[in-house]
Amino acid sequence: MPPTDLPAVVERFLRYVRIDTEADRDSDTTPSTEKQKELSSLLARELGELGLSDAAMDDHGYVYASLPAMPEGSTAPALALVAHVDTSPDAPGGPVEPRIHADYDGSVIALEDGVTLDPARSPELLDHLGHDLITSDGTTLLGSDDKAGVAIIMQAVADLLAEPQRPRPLLKVCFTVDEEIGRGVDELDLEKLGVEVAYTIDGGGVGTFSYETFNAAEAVIRVQGVGVHPGYAKDVMANATTIVAEILAALPAGEAPETTAHREGYFCPHLVEGDVTQAEARILLRDFTADGLDRRKQLVEQLAAAAALKHPRARIQVEIEDNYRNMREYIETKDDRAISFAFSAAEELGIELREELVRGGTDGSRLSEMGLPTPNVFTGGHDFHSCFEWNTVQNLEAALAYVKALVEYWGRHGGEEA
């Protein structure tokens, strides 16, 4: 049976995940789906009810609010906590029906639609024996990415207001939209946010802390072929789908998401569509170094050029767009206390914080590049972007305790010389 007396942060989380906020890659609006504003407007209202008089949602669905420094006159730099309201379109986004599996014993958990949580697939489950697991019913993702971060920030604000004895800097809260489709800060107003350091509360397992991400780009290959009746196609047809398939097949098999880990980059064809006359492939390019990303761009262009020579009747175009950069250099150059304070706060709290590379990106990637150092803090979640996603009651409590400790550390030490 699920526990009946749930911590406030968990109750918030369960309320928030039930709101469908799935983002849409094919939309050109901000937010990409109007339903994201349902959660954003709720958060703005709840922040106002907590006493944050400037809490508001803007036209794009971003939420901004301020919590005054304590004590008044604090010289610590203003600090922001950031999370995103949208969920990934990689798995069904709603309606989410969360379930709590109390006192986990290490066995396989059977959900609906044949979905099972199995330690053989997710060995991290065995690190959570005795925890109260939170999952969806198996038909959707859970939405811990990043409604766990949203709930943690909201509860942190409520707790800090109730604990005026805790030192804190001027604290800004910001909830973004469309992070899952790479547009999380497209319309964010940095001047309005008005802080010197920020943290995205958008990480994974308890104790993980991230300040290094991939460099990311996307290559789009478009092939204009020549169509003709296949019975009379010799020396006439240029099959666009065949040409795209040849290019993709020439990518290094050992440099795919399913064959790489740690600091290894990859090529990931994530969308292929078309017919004989027109075809398109979109390829994610990822690497932890700028030189490595450049090499991947050059290889895609070389493969396309080779295909153009082999198929002179076809027209082949390549467009490559940068998405975000590795945030480590930006953070260390701007204010490395964003990193050192995070580890010091964890030590004071008595937990071990460990660096975790982000094999992807966060809103913090682009915020750091824009001049706002923004590392990423854990939320306790696992198996994001899937119906296997899970978190635990205890992990949410641990993440909340750490976020409050981090804010307090900045309140006590942020005014010291950088």
pLDDT by residue (tens digit) across 1-44? 456 689 999 999 999 999 999 999 999 999 999 999 999 999 99
Residues 257 and 308 in one domain: yes
Instruction: Give the model confidence (pLDDT) of 55-78 as tens digits.
Output: 999 999 999 999 999 998 889 999
Catalytic option among 20, 22, 46, 86: 86
User: Does the pLDDT of residue 418 top 70, yes or no?
Assistant: no
- Last residue in a domain, options 324, 351, 367: 324
Residue 287 clears pLDDT 60, i.e. is over it: yes
Residues 296 and 370 in one domain: no
Please check whether residue 272 lies inside any domain of the structure. Answer: yes
Q: What pLDDT, on the 0 to 100 scale, is given for residue 416?
A: 78
Looking up residue 251, the CATH number of its domain turns out to be 3.30.70.360
Please confirm, yes or no, whether 258 is among the known catalytic residues. no
Q: Can 86 be counted among the known catalytic residues?
A: yes
Whether residues 203 and 268 fall in one domain:
no
> Which domain covers residue 253, as residue numbers?
215-324
- Which of 289, 324, 359 is the endpoint of a domain? 324
pLDDT above 60 for 373: yes
- As a whole number of Å, the end-to-end CA separation of the chain is 50
Q: What is the pLDDT of residue 340?
A: 97
pLDDT (mean) for 378-400: 97
Burial category of 371 from C-beta neighbours within 10 Å (exposed 0-12, middle 13-18, buried 19 and up): exposed
* 268 and 352 fall within a common domain: no
Instruction: Specify the amino acid at residue 4.
Output: T
pLDDT of amino acid 415: 87
Catalytic residue among 46, 132, 179, 363: 179
pTM for the complete prediction?
A: 0.90
Strand 99-101 versus strand 133-135 pairing type: antiparallel
Average pLDDT value for residue range 275-302: 97
Q: How many CB atoms lie within 10 A of CB 106?
A: 10
Residues 266, 391 share a domain: no
Same domain, 310 and 331: no
Q: Tell whether 418 is covered by a domain.
A: no
Boundary of a domain, candidates 282, 297, 324: 324
Res 338: pLDDT:
97
Evaluate whether 245 touches 262 at the Cβ level (below 8 Å): no
Nearest to 370 by CA among 219, 208, 207, 189: 189
Cα(135)–Cα(143) distance, rounded to whole angstroms?
9
